[in-house]
Amino acid sequence: MSPVTNARLLFREIPSELPDPVSTFKYDTSENIDIDGFPLHGGFLVRALAFSLDPYMRNRMRPEDTEGDMPAFLLNKVITGFGVGVVIRSESPDFLVGAHVGGFMSYQEYCFFGDAAASALAMPALGLTVLENPYNLPWRYFVGNLGMTGQTAYYALKDVSEPQKGETIFISAAAGAVGLMLVQLAVSQGLRVIASCGSDAKAGLLRELGAAHVINRKTDDIFVELKKAGPIDIFIDHVGGITLEAAIENAAMHARFVICGAVSTYNGPMSDAYGVKNLWLVNRYRITIRPLVVIDWHEKYLSEFYKTVPEEIAAGRLKCYESVYRGLQSAGQGFKDMLTGASTGKTVIVISEE
Amino acid sequence: MSPVTNARLLFREIPSELPDPVSTFKYDTSENIDIDGFPLHGGFLVRALAFSLDPYMRNRMRPEDTEGDMPAFLLNKVITGFGVGVVIRSESPDFLVGAHVGGFMSYQEYCFFGDAAASALAMPALGLTVLENPYNLPWRYFVGNLGMTGQTAYYALKDVSEPQKGETIFISAAAGAVGLMLVQLAVSQGLRVIASCGSDAKAGLLRELGAAHVINRKTDDIFVELKKAGPIDIFIDHVGGITLEAAIENAAMHARFVICGAVSTYNGPMSDAYGVKNLWLVNRYRITIRPLVVIDWHEKYLSEFYKTVPEEIAAGRLKCYESVYRGLQSAGQGFKDMLTGASTGKTVIVISEE
């Protein structure tokens, strides 16, 4: 077979504010790959099925020499992140042809792995693994509710927030990828859910899912609403800034706050972020503030996660909400929609269904 | 014996900013007490020896109907707080004549207790107890290094911050009441101490006590200094605001932050407080932020505290630094000096040495 195009997603420009859907990434089709003739040297070749778009990636859009959580995207190089694919050729005994794999990948249609750790940015928890899918769920779920997104939600309701049945949990960005799964899990575990989101349509969905009190952050006063609906025993935050300040003001005694994200601060320098003024109330209400970074909890909960969540989804007790974009050329728009709240649930780029 | 003056400290005016040394309190000598003839009705009479002045009292200087940590001071009524005294008459089997007692008291020279809980503001941990003093230490120490102050420092270096020998601890307001004891305890426990304070004289004292790096918050850039001296494994904060923000920026991975106080925010409305912008770094550095309120830890550590700290002080291994004011009429000045950092160590009002 003659070489085919290997479309790739390059990082073209460091955004100063909200990433521009056109200029941030470059959809590049200049590279060809001879799928059958490509020498494997003991490695394996993966055809991509789906890639994840996640808010944490915004932090990687920075100058290479600036410190950050994870390595910066390199200008004019292929970006990396969570993906899922199928092995189409292999000389590796651990990754056989036909196996489905998930983990950190380069965002291109065909991805060669000299070994499984190749794209893992030296973080073992991000390395490629073979996926099991006994319920025949869509493979794209493995970058969403069955991937980092779902794992974050699942871990948040474990000892990191110490939930007790009947307690009140506040979930910000509740119609986002992690939020929608969190709301469902929290309701099913007998927690009373307060949810915030950015539109009436999202508010409606959250009510349908069982949220007791929904706040539209664009039209409601979050301080007033939390005062009505609180106090808050648990806060799972994806927003930061004024949302966090309002939650602190409305905390119950011995509240547990879990910081999953701070999307309100991602699109500008930290010096422009909203400053939280009432941290002293941490003492008054005996609030503990903890970080939640998904890779920290895999060892403790990943196998439990895979034992329970796929079955819940297959049985329809846990729904997967997605904003699906088709092809790597749609990544720029998908990323912007995710950060601005124009999309609902998990943002995923589908390359191929199978 | 004929009645004698029972001088009292009344709360006269709610300060809008820094409490004024003259107008905030009223030193009142209009009340007399017939010490010998006073009917006890089963209670007991205490002659005050010393009273504590503490930053938390600033929060009590607010309108009666405003929520706060502890009940508001009532206008034109005697203020309450930690005191120590000696029982001079008693009909109570638990508080015999000659016993020394400590706990929440009214700030007046002679204080009648119908029962020991009378001044405890319905918080059992504040109730009056009989003090033991096997090393014959000055009784005023029982509102300082042997009281809430010392207990706060002691508890901060227990599981609340999980200190490991060799770790770097940053202590803000390190020349304050809790700070000076903390620095000594931390050095003795093999921690590397970074200390911040407000004058060169205090900086000198902190260096003498073994602090490895001292920051004068008035002349140094705290961000620059912490970058030099950090990263910080443990932060015990009494200041809040920009000091907390600088500590977050310079946290080590898995840092533990303990919020003891936030004196930078006490003298104005919370809406004027400095807003901490970089809370997102809680995730990057995996920081846990915990409150420390001394009464929460008595059950676990108070008996250990009394078994160890008095002996350390008696042996001279732990020094008590105090700013001693004489008589209730000096309370206004003492309180202001404490909040502005004009004083060093524990601020105590001595009524009588014995």
Task: Give the integer Cα–Cα distance in Å for B178 and B174.
Answer: 7
**Residues A328, A307: Cα–Cα separation, whole Å:** 32
CA-nearest of B298, B305, B340, B339 to B141 is B305
| Per-residue pLDDT, A110 | 96
**Residue bearing tokens 């997104």:** A149
Phi-psi region of A282 (alpha: psi -120 to 50; beta: other; left: phi over 0): alpha
Are the beta carbons of B327 and B349 closer than 8 angstroms?
A: yes
Q: Decide if B263 contacts B178 (C-beta within 8 A).
A: no
* pLDDT bracket for residue A116 (50, 70, 90): low
Question: Residue A67: closest CA among chain B residues belongs to which residue?
Answer: B284
Q: How confident is the model at residue B118 (pLDDT cuts 50, 70, 90)?
A: low
How far is Cα B130 from Cα B118, in angstroms, rounded to an integer?
Answer: 15
Distances (CA, A) of A332 to A50, A79, A354: 15, 12, 23
- pLDDT on residue A263: 84
Q: Which candidate from B69, B289, B292 shows the least CB-CB separation from A289?
A: B289
Residue A271: what pLDDT? 84
Say if B4-144+321-350 and B148-295 have the same CATH topology: no
Query: Residue range A65-94: average pLDDT?
Result: 93
Rounded Cα–Cα distance for residues A205 and A209 (Å): 6
- Rounded mean pLDDT, A92-114: 94
Closest listed residue to residue A324, CA positions, set A351, A303, A288? A351
Please compute the mean of the pLDDT values over residues A9-27 and round it to a whole number: 94
Judged by CB atoms closer than 8 Å, whether chains meet at B291 and A287 is answered as yes
CA of residue B29 relative to chain centroid, distance? 27
Q: Is B68's pLDDT higher than 90?
A: no
Indicate whether A83 pLDDT > 80: yes
CA distances in angstroms from B313 to B151, B305, B308, listed in the order given: 13, 12, 9
Contact at 8 Å (CB) between A127 and A104?
A: yes
Residues with Cβ < 8 Å from A315, sequence gap 6 or more? none
Q: In the prediction, which pLDDT does B1 show?
A: 65
Name the average pLDDT for chain A. Answer: 94
Going by their DSSP bridges, the two strands B288-291 and B251-259 should be labelled as parallel
Q: What is the pLDDT of residues B295-343, one digit of tens each?
A: 999 999 999 999 999 999 999 999 999 999 999 999 999 999 999 989 9
Least confident range from A183-187, B121-125, B310-314: namely B121-125
- A269: cis peptide before it, omega within 30°? no
Please say whether the beta carbons of B155 and B292 come within 8 A: yes
Q: CATH 3.90.180.10: does it fit domain A4-144+321-350? A: yes
Taking any CB pair shorter than 8 Å as contact, residues of chain B touching chain A are: 68-69, 240, 244, 259-262, 265, 270-280, 282-293, 296
pLDDT at A265: 84
- Give residue A70's pLDDT: 87
Residue A114: the pLDDT is: 86
Q: Are A82 and A346 in contact (CB under 8 A)?
A: no
**pLDDT for A272-306, tens place per residue?**
899 999 999 999 999 999 999 999 999 999 999 99
Residues of A in contact with B259 (CB under 8 A): 279-280, 282-283
Backbone angles phi, psi at B229, to 5 degrees: -95, -15
Q: Which residues of B touch A293 (CB under 8 A)?
A: 283, 286
How confident is the model at residue A57, as a pLDDT? Answer: 93
Q: Is the pLDDT of residue A173 over 80?
A: yes
pLDDT at B100: 97
CA within 13 Å, CB half, B80: 20
Residues comprising chain A, all counted: 354
Q: What percent of chain B has pLDDT over 90?
A: 86
User: Lowest-pLDDT range, A179-193, A260-274, B68-82, B131-145?
Assistant: A260-274
Using CA atoms, how far apart are residues A240 and A273, in angstroms rounded to an integer? 9
Give me the pLDDT at residue B119, please. Answer: 64
DSSP state of B276: B
Mean pLDDT of A317-340: 95
Q: Contact B277/A282, CB-based, under 8 Å?
A: no
Q: Which secondary structure element, helix H or strand E, spans residue B11, and what is its range?
A: strand B8-11
What would the DSSP string read from start to end of B193-239? EEEEESSHHHHHHHHHTT-SEEEETTTS-HHHHHHHH--EEEEEESS
Q: Which pLDDT band, with edges at 50, 70 and 90, does B116 fall under?
A: low
Please state whether the peptide bond connecting residue B93 to the residue before it is cis, i.e. omega within 30 degrees of 0.
no
Structure tokens at B241: 């605001």
pLDDT at B347: 95
Which of the 8 DSSP states describes residue B302?
H
pLDDT surpassing 90 at residue A1: no
Which residue does chain A place closest to B239, by CA atoms? A280
Ranges of H-type helices in chain B: 148-156, 177-188, 200-208, 222-229, 241-249, 281-284, 298-314, 331-340
> Could you count the other beta carbons within 10 Å of the beta carbon of residue A114?
12
**Residues in chain A closer than 8 A to B280 (CB atoms):** 240, 259, 262, 265, 270, 273
Note whether A277 contacts B275, CB cutoff 8 Å: yes
Residue B122 clears pLDDT 80, i.e. is over it = no
Q: Tell me the mean pLDDT in the region B345-351.
A: 95
> Secondary structure of chain A: what % helix, strand, coil (to 5)?
30, 25, 45
Q: Average pLDDT of A79-107? A: 95
Pairwise CA distance, residues A75 & A84, whole Å: 24
Tell me the chain B residues in contact with residue A261 when contact means C-beta distances shorter than 8 Å. Answer: 283
**Region for B316 from its dihedrals, namely left if φ exceeds 0, alpha if ψ lies in -120 to 50, beta otherwise:** left
Q: Which of A194-208, B112-126, B260-274 has the lowest mean pLDDT?
A: B112-126
Cβ proximity of B274 and B241 under 8 Å: yes
From the list B136, B52, B27, the residue with the least C-alpha distance to B347 is B52
User: How many helices and strands in chain B, by DSSP H and E?
Assistant: 8, 17
Q: What is the pLDDT of residue B92?
A: 92
How much is the pLDDT for B120? 66
Average pLDDT for B127-150: 95
pLDDT band (50, 70, 90) for residue A266: confident
| Domain ranges (residues) in chain B | 4-144+321-350, 148-295
The reply to whether residue A262 touches residue B273, judged by beta carbons under 8 angstroms, is no
User: Would you call B283 and A261 a contact, using CB atoms and an 8 Å cutoff?
Assistant: yes
Which helix (H) or strand (E) segment holds residue A257: the answer is strand A251-259
CA nearest to A342, candidates A97, A18, A8: A18
DSSP letters, A10-41, are EE----SSSPPTTTSEEEE---EE-TTT---T
Which neighbouring-strand residues pair with A111? A46
CATH of domain A148-295: 3.40.50.720
What's the mean pLDDT in A251-277? 90
Tell me the C-alpha distance between A182 and A6, whole Å: 36
For position A119, what pLDDT does the model report?
64
Interhelix angle B241-249/B222-229, nearest 10 degrees: 30
Cβ-Cβ contacts under 8 Å for A243 (sequence gap 6 or more): A172, A196, A217, A222, A237, A264
Query: How many C-beta atoms lie closer than 10 Å to residue A353's C-beta?
Result: 9
Question: Given its phi and psi angles, is residue A98 left (phi above 0), alpha (psi -120 to 50 degrees) or beta?
Answer: left
Task: Mark yes or no for CB contact A284/B68 under 8 Å.
Answer: yes
Whether residue B283 and residue A291 make contact (CB cut-off 8 A), yes or no, is yes
A286 φ/ψ sector (left φ>0, alpha ψ -120 to 50, else beta):
left
Contact B110, B47 (CB under 8 A): yes
Give the count of beta carbons closer than 10 Å to the beta carbon of residue A197.
Answer: 28
Rg (CA), chain A: 21
**What pLDDT, on the 0 to 100 scale, is given for residue A2?**
79
Distance, CA of A81 to CA of A126 (rounded, Å): 9
Please give the Cα distance from B166 to B156 (Å, whole number): 16
- In which band, very low, low, confident or very high, does the pLDDT at B262 lie, cut at 50, 70 and 90? confident
Nearest CA in chain A to B276: A275
Instruction: Tell me which chain A residues have a C-beta less than 8 angstroms from the C-beta of B278.
Output: 270, 273
